[in-house]
């Protein structure tokens, strides 16, 4: 039977509407290529699993077991559990295995891949959609990482943004109150999935404003807008806007409810403008590291990118790969200005604006920190892949051979880069055989089971991963930053004994052993691969040697050769002698980020009223044990106004207390500022 388009149909082999068998085969081949490149990472799910993913998995596990219900992961309200819910069918098949949760991330990538195909097909034709899906399959090594990382829903949120753009075409073609409501819900729910979706919200708003400005820039456009407004009626426009707003709030409702309910979350991005210095650093980070990492190139020869983008290829090839996608974006700008393609101007304009908005938000935000911050640029994949597909189709209108050759070169580059990276990261052997990486935490857990230990403490990146790998037979709580589940920590502390797990190459391992010896606490230290594991041979608690709030704050502080008079704003240094009169060790480094470090500092008093500013810190060169004495020079800056002041010199345990506030020791010096 022949359809009106002249394409043959069959009741045996169904296909996507408007696609012939050859194009369906090409789409399936692109999807298969994307999956194939991710198999090595999925094969090593236990090794690659990190604690962020483990937290997501534990939340889902507890929900399925009826132990808790949550719309967010522990201690976060900036991304929801949508990706985690995708893992439920895989858990039913595989159990609570890391692979079951990793597969949920792959589902997000497949949604992205299909959505860019559909958007490219809708805007520029089936060939453009196929090219977009193929480019995405082998885009870069780091996309393999984000598409197999089951935390945050990185590819899922980009796929949702692409689906939203696809639906915007329907809304633009035939506006209605119902479609405005659906569009609002898509935007709101995208923000619940992950607030990185804010890039899409800002882009659609900018595109709508730009499209309206274009329409109103000419008399003919103003006339069309007037006729549309008149035919729709003010009442219908108001209903559409109201439906949009209500549906937007409904989609974002979980986050709104959490915020209104006062849900506390320590793990949050910062929503403010960066300082000028940070903006400058962001620009350098963006150009030298993040854009190259996103595209899988290393034109500046940054050593760190060898583990992100794989080995460097010839510079001409890497610049050419970047240039291809830059040219695709410029082609998109040209198409919008000439009003070429389908679907009006709103969605094509949003594709052009998306990388611009994404880059601007990256530069102006205080959140980017390192090369991995290129995850904030992932929304631009919607634009670059779809516009690249459109450009290739446009070239094909002049020369199919040239378009095909160009597409093959781009895909071959991305595929070669990804394969070289997989070999370099030991996912594949040189002859492309799968490598199984051994996870040493499994050996640590076996040791703890043999020792009869049911609980342990470790750093964040050890704690929750170990807990999930043990299927919660052993609960490992975080003892430093990012305590995501205080209930888990309380449960471990309630045990008669708990092990301690450290990176054997870290200073924290040696410091913990020294504190155990200082307190004369018996212990056994096992070295398991890269981990040092401390266990009590007699089942006693090792907690006294743990870095944390000091059990007692007691010191003796004396000052030597202190100034009597200072000028307003004058800087000086005061020498003090400090003796540890407590029964605890003062930590000089305080942990991974100095969170429990003990330092010396100062305060200025007017009478008994302290001035707002805190003094600078003076650091101990080593841990100070009970009975030991150290000399320090404390930097002080005099108040800016004349007067009689009292300078208080004391110690501080960061994040815990000032010694002078809890009767732990101080020295007070009267000083005239004049």
The 3-class SS string of 68-95 reads CCCCECCCCCCEECHHHHHCHHHHHHHC
Residue 641 within a domain: yes
CA dist 542 and 515 (Å) reads: 10
Burial class (CB in 10 A: 0-12, 13-18, 19+), 17: exposed
- Mean per-residue pLDDT for 100-110? 97
Per-residue confidence (pLDDT) for residue 216, from 0 to 100? 67
Which of 424, 457, 482 delimits the end of a domain? 424
Residue 188 within a domain: no
Q: Are 292 and 147 part of one and the same domain? A: yes
Residue 223 within a domain: no
CA dist 305 and 83 (Å) reads: 28
Beta-bridge partner residues of 631: 577
Nearest C-alpha neighbor of 389 from the set 314, 339, 345, 335 = 335
Which of 92-96, 174-178, 548-552, 573-577 is predicted least confidently? 548-552
CATH number at residue 599: 2.60.40.10
Pairing of strands 499-503, 455-458: parallel
Residue 229 within a domain: no
Residue 34 within a domain: yes
Which residues touch 144 (CB under 8 Å, ≥6 apart)? 37, 38, 41, 418, 421, 422
Which residues touch 540 (CB under 8 Å, ≥6 apart)? 496, 497, 521, 522
Q: Are 359 and 505 part of one and the same domain? A: no
Which residues touch 326 (CB under 8 Å, ≥6 apart)? none
CA dist 318 and 298 (Å) reads: 7
Find the length of the chain.
674
- Mean per-residue pLDDT for 531-553? 89
Q: Are 540 and 560 part of one and the same domain? A: no
Q: Cβ(34)–Cβ(138) under 8 Å?
A: yes
Which of 545, 577, 611 delimits the end of a domain? 545
Q: Domain containing 644: what range? A: 555-673
Residue 8: pLDDT band with limits 50, 70, 90: very low
Pairing of strands 475-478, 499-503: unpaired
Q: Are 494 and 582 part of one and the same domain? A: no
Per-residue confidence (pLDDT) for residue 218, from 0 to 100? 67
Q: Which residue has the higher pLDDT, 283 or 260?
A: 283
Report the number of distinct structural domains present in the chain: 3
The pLDDT tens digits of the residues spanning 480-504 come to 667 888 899 999 999 999 999 999 9
Q: Per-residue pLDDT for 375 more than 90? A: yes
Q: Per-residue pLDDT for 274 more than 70? A: yes
Q: Cβ(122)–Cβ(342) under 8 Å?
A: yes
Q: Are 294 and 385 part of one and the same domain? A: yes
Grouping H, G, I as helix, E, B as strand and the rest as coil, residue 286 is helix
Q: Are 465 and 602 part of one and the same domain? A: no
Q: Are 452 and 570 part of one and the same domain? A: no
Tokens 């732990």, residue located: 664
Residue 207 within a domain: no
| Average pLDDT taken over every residue of the chain | 90
Q: Per-residue pLDDT for 17 more than 80? A: no
Q: Which H or E element spans position 636?
A: strand 629-637
Q: Per-residue pLDDT for 637 more than 50? A: yes
Listing from the earlier edge strand, what are the strands of the sheet with 571-580? 555-560, 571-580, 629-637
Q: Are 379 and 315 part of one and the same domain? A: yes
Q: Per-residue pLDDT for 521 more than 80? A: yes
Per-residue confidence (pLDDT) for residue 398, from 0 to 100? 92
Nearest C-alpha neighbor of 169 from the set 122, 228, 224 = 122
Which of 531-540, 582-591, 647-656 is predicted least confidently? 582-591
Q: Are 38 and 147 part of one and the same domain? A: yes
In degrees and rounded to multiples of 5, residue 153 shows phi and psi of: 65, 50
Which of 494, 522, 545 delimits the end of a domain? 545
- Mean per-residue pLDDT for 441-468? 95
Per-residue confidence (pLDDT) for residue 263, from 0 to 100? 65
Residue 521 within a domain: yes
> DSSP H helical segments within 286-345, as ranges?
291-295, 306-309, 315-338
- Mean per-residue pLDDT for 110-120? 97
Q: What is the dihedral of CA 354, 357, 358, 359, to 10 degrees?
A: 120
Q: Are 525 and 574 part of one and the same domain? A: no
Which of 29-38, 323-332, 589-598, 609-618 is predicted least confidently? 589-598
Residue 249 within a domain: no
Tokens 């990472």, residue located: 41
- Mean per-residue pLDDT for 575-603? 88
Supply the DSSP string of 160-219, one letter for each residue. HHHHHHHHHHHHHHS--HHHHHHHHHHHHHHHHHBGGGHHHHHHHHHHHHHHHHHHHTSH
The pLDDT tens digits of the residues spanning 398-448 come to 999 999 999 999 999 999 999 999 999 999 998 999 999 999 999 999 999
In degrees and rounded to multiples of 5, residue 174 shows phi and psi of: -145, 85
Q: Are 496 and 366 part of one and the same domain? A: no
Q: Are 485 and 606 part of one and the same domain? A: no
CA dist 463 and 673 (Å) reads: 51
């Amino acid at each position: 039977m022949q359809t009106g388009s002249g394409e043959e149909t069959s009741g045996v082999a169904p296909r996507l509407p408007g696609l012939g068998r050859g194009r369906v085969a090409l789409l399936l081949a692109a999807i298969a290529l994307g999956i194939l490149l991710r198999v090595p990472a999925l094969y090593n799910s236990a090794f690659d699993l990190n604690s962020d993913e483990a937290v997501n998995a534990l939340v889902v596990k507890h929900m399925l077991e009826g132990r808790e219900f949550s719309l967010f992961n522990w201690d976060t309200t900036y991304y929801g559990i949508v990706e985690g819910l995708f893992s439920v069918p895989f858990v039913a098949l595989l159990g609570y295995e890391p692979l079951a949760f990793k597969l949920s991330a792959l589902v997000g990538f497949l949604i992205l891949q299909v959505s860019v195909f559909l958007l490219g097909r809708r805007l520029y034709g089936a060939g453009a959609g196929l090219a977009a899906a193929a480019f995405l399959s082998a885009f870069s090594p780091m996309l393999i990482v984000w598409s197999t990382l089951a935390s945050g829903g990185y590819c899922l949120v980009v796929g949702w943004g692409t689906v939203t753009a696809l639906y915007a075409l329907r809304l633009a073609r035939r506006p209605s109150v119902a479609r405005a409501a659906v569009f609002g819900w898509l935007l709101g729910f995208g923000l619940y999935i992950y607030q990185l979706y804010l890039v899409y919200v800002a882009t659609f708003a900018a595109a709508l404003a730009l499209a309206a400005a274009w329409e109103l820039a000419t008399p003919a456009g103003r006339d069309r807008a007037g006729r549309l407004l008149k035919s729709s009626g003010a009442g219908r426009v108001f209903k559409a806007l109201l439906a949009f707003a209500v549906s937007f709030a409904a989609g974002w409702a979980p986050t709104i409810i959490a915020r209104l309910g006062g849900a506390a979350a320590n793990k949050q991005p910062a929503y403010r403008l960066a300082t000028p210095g940070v903006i400058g650093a962001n620009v350098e980070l963006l150009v030298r590291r993040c854009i190259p990492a996103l595209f899988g190139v290393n034109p500046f020869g940054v050593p760190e990118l060898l583990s992100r983008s794989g080995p460097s290829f010839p510079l001409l090839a890497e610049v050419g790969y970047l240039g291809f996608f830059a040219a695709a974006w410029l082609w998109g700008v040209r198409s919008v200005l000439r009003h070429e393609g389908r679907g009006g101007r709103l969605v094509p304009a949003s594709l052009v604006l998306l990388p611009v908005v994404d880059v601007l938000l990256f530069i102006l935000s205080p959140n980017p920190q390192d090369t991995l911050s290129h995850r904030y640029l992932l929304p631009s994949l919607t634009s670059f892949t779809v516009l690249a597909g459109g450009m290739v189709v446009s070239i094909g209108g002049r020369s199919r051979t040239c378009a095909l050759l160009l597409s093959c070169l781009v895909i071959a580059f991305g595929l070669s880069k990804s394969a070289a990276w997989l070999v370099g990261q030991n996912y594949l052997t040189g002859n492309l055989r799968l490598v199984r990486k051994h996870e040493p935490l499994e050996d640590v857990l076996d040791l703890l089971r043999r020792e009869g230990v049911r609980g342990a403490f470790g750093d964040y990146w050890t704690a929750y991963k170990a807990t999930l790998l043990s299927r919660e037979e052993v609960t490992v709580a975080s003892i430093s930053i990012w305590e995501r589940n205080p209930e888990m920590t309380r449960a471990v502390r309630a045990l008669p004994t708990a092990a301690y797990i450290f990176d054997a190459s870290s200073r924290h391992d040696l410091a913990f052993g020294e504190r155990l010896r200082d307190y004369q606490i018996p212990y056994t230290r096992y070295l398991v691969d890269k981990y040092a594991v401390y266990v009590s041979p007699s089942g006693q608690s090792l907690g006294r040697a743990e870095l944390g709030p000091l059990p007692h704050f007691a010191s003796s502080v004396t000052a030597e050769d202190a100034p009597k008079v200072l000028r307003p704003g004058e800087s000086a240094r005061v020498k003090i002698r400090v003796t540890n009169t407590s029964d605890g060790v003062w930590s000089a480094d305080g942990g991974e980020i100095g969170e429990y470090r003990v330092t010396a500092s100062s305060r200025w008093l007017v009478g008994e009223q302290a001035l707002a500013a805190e003094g600078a810190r003076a650091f101990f060169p080593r841990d100070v044990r009970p009975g030991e004495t150290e000399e320090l020079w404390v930097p002080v800056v005099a108040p800016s106004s004349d007067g009689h002041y009292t300078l208080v010199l004391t110690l501080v345990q960061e994040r815990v207390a000032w010694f002078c506030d809890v009767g732990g020791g101080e020295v007070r010096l009267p000083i005239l500022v004049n």
